[in-house]
Amino acid sequence: MFDLIRHKTASSKADLLSGITVALALVPEAVAFAFVAGVEPMVGLYAAFIMGLITALIGGRPGMISGATGAMAVVMVALVAEHGVQYLFAAVVLAGLIQVLAGVFKLGKFIRIVPYPVMIGFVNGLAIVIFLAQLGQFKAPDANGVLQWLQGNQMYLMLGLVALTMFIIHFLPKLTSAIPSSLAAILTVTAIVVGFDLDTRTVLDFLKSMSGDETATIAGNLPTFNIPSVPFNLETLMIIAPYSAILAAVGLIESLLTLTVIDEMTESRGKGNKECVGQGVANITSGFFGAMGGCAMIGQSMININSGGRGRLSGITAALALLAFILFGSSFIEMIPLAALVGVMFMVVLGTFEWASFKVMRKVPLHDAFVIILVTTVTVFTDLAFAVFVGVIVSALVFAWEHAKHINVQIEEDANGWKVYKLNGPLFFGSVSNFLELFDAKKDSADVIVDFQNSRVADHSALEAIDTLAERYVSTGKRLHLRHLSGDCKQLLNKAGDLVEVNLIEDPHYHIADDKLDS
C-alpha cells in the first residue's frame, strides 16, 4: 500500500505544489458528488473548499485532505429529494455538532478497536471503488443523452493519454523531484491536448454531461452566509436527526480510518479527537454557507502525500487554489482533459491497494483472511461505514469464539481436603457454558475453591455463571469459595451486589465465600 511514497520529509514548496495538484483533481470529484447528492455543482465545490480549508487549519492530521465525498453524498440524496436542499444544510450543521461532541468527549480513540484486517479490507475496498468510479470517464452521452462506452479512436486516445499520465507520474521522480509528478503529468497532457487540438473529453465536457446544461461552468462567487431556511421546530429536528446521525458517523469513520492510513504512510501520528472537532466545525460552517459538507478523502489524501504534501500548508493551498479556480481560473481548469485526472486517480488506486494482502492472506489465520475479503466486498457493494461495522462485529465474534474455547481447569486438593479448581482463561459471555461444564457439584467435596489467579471475571454473564455455579453447590449442601480474584474482578462483584448475593438473603444456607487468604 505504501510502496509509491517518494517524499519522506516536509517542505513548504512541496506543500504548495502538492496542494495545487490536489485542487485540480478535486474539481471533477466535487462536481460528481454534488450530482450524486442531487444538488447544484457549486454546492459540492463550496464544500470541497470549506471542508478542506477548515480541517487543514484545525484538524488533527496535517496532510490529510477533506472535501465532499461519495460516502456522505449517498446518504444525502434521499433527504434532498424529499425535503429539499435547505434541509440538507440543516442536517449538515447538526451532523457537525455531533462530530464536535464526539471530539469533546474523546470518542475518536474508539478507532483503535478497528482490527488490522478490517483496515486492509477498508483500503482495498476504497481502491476498488475509486477505480470503478473512474470507468465512468470512459463513457460519453450519445444523441439521446445516454452514456455509452467510447468507441474507436476516441477510446484509443483516452487510453493513450491515461497511460501517458501514469508513465509521467511513475518515471518523473526518477529524474527530478522539483515538481510533483502528478502536477507535471496534468500540465503536460493538457498542453498536448490543447496544442494538437485533440478530440478528447475535458472537465467542461464532464460538467455539461452531468448537468445536461450546455452553459454549465465551474465559475462562481464567494460562498455567502445563510441560515438554513427551515422551520425551527421539533418536526424539523425529527426529519433531519436520523440523517445527521448517519452523516456524522460515516464522516468520522471515513476520516479517522483515513487518518490511520496516513499515519502509517508517514510514520507519524495524528490526533483523532482533534480531527473529530475539525470535521465537525467544517461541517457546521458548510451548512451555514450553502455547502453539502463532507469528510476526509483517502484518494485526494493519497495524491497529496505522494506529491510531497505533509504539512497543513498543503491542505490550505488545495482549498485556496480551488477557490481561485472558481473565482478566476475556471476557463483554464475546464480545459483539463479527463484522461489526465483519470491517470492520476489510477496511480492513487495502485498506491492505495494493499497488494501484499494476497500474500498475507495465505499466512494469517483463516478468519482474518475472511474479514479482509468481507470488508473489501461490503465496501464495494454498500458503503464504508457499514463495511467497517460488519468487519468489527465479525472480528469481535471470532475473537469471542476463539477465546471461549481457551477456558480450562487444573484440579487439585489442598491440605484441608478441599477440592481446588485452578481456572485458566477469561470468564465472559462466550465462555460461561464451557465454564459451568468444568464442575461436578454432586461428586465434589463439601468445600470447593475456584482459584481465579489465571483468570478474570469480565462481564455480567460471568457473574451470572458464578451465581449459577454457587446455586448448584448450595443445592447439594456444599460451599463455594472464590480465591485470587483480581482487584477489578472484586470491584465487579462488589458492584453487582444483589445480582450475585440475592440468594444469601433468601436462603441463609447459601454461601458464596470470597476467600481473601493469599490474595
* Residue with the larger pLDDT of the pair 4 and 360: 360
Rounded to whole angstroms, the Cα distance separating 467 from 187 reads 73
For cell 493538457, name the residue: 190
Residue 33: its pLDDT value, please? Answer: 86
396 lies in some domain:
no
- Report, as an integer, the average pLDDT of 315-328: 95
Find which of 4-8, 11-15, 75-79, 230-234 is predicted with most confidence, using mean pLDDT.
Answer: 230-234
- pLDDT band at residue 279 under the 50/70/90 scheme: very high
Three-class SS string for 242-311? HHHHHHHHHHHHHHHHHHHHHHHHHCCCCCHHHHHHHHHHHHHHHHHCCCCCCEECHHHHHHHHHCCCCC
| pLDDT score of 367 more than 50 | yes
Rounded to whole angstroms, the Cα distance separating 32 from 1 reads 26
Rounded to whole angstroms, the Cα distance separating 478 from 367 reads 43
61 lies in some domain:
yes
The 10s digit of each residue's pLDDT in 370-425 is 999 999 999 888 877 788 889 999 998 998 888 887 889 999 988 888 899 999 98
29 lies in some domain:
yes
Q: Are residues 94 and 197 in the same domain?
A: yes
For cell 514548496, name the residue: 13
Helix (H) or strand (E) run with residue 514 in it: strand 512-515
Mean pLDDT of the chain: 87
For cell 462483584, name the residue: 493
Residue 384: its pLDDT value, please? Answer: 75
2 lies in some domain:
no
- Report, as an integer, the average pLDDT of 34-43: 88
The model's pTM is: 0.76
From the list 75, 5, 4, the residue with the least C-alpha distance to 268 is 5
* Residue with the larger pLDDT of the pair 6 and 111: 111
338 lies in some domain:
yes
25 lies in some domain:
yes
CATH number at residue 460: 3.30.750.24
The partner residues of 404 in beta bridges, in order of sequence, read none
Q: Are residues 121 and 228 in the same domain?
A: yes
The 10s digit of each residue's pLDDT in 179-237 is 888 899 999 999 999 999 999 999 998 888 877 788 888 888 999 999 999 999 999 99
**Structural domain that includes position 479:** 408-515
121 lies in some domain:
yes
- Report, as an integer, the average pLDDT of 302-311: 90
Cα Dmax for the chain: 98
Q: Are residues 109 and 187 in the same domain?
A: yes
C-alpha cell at 246: 448517519
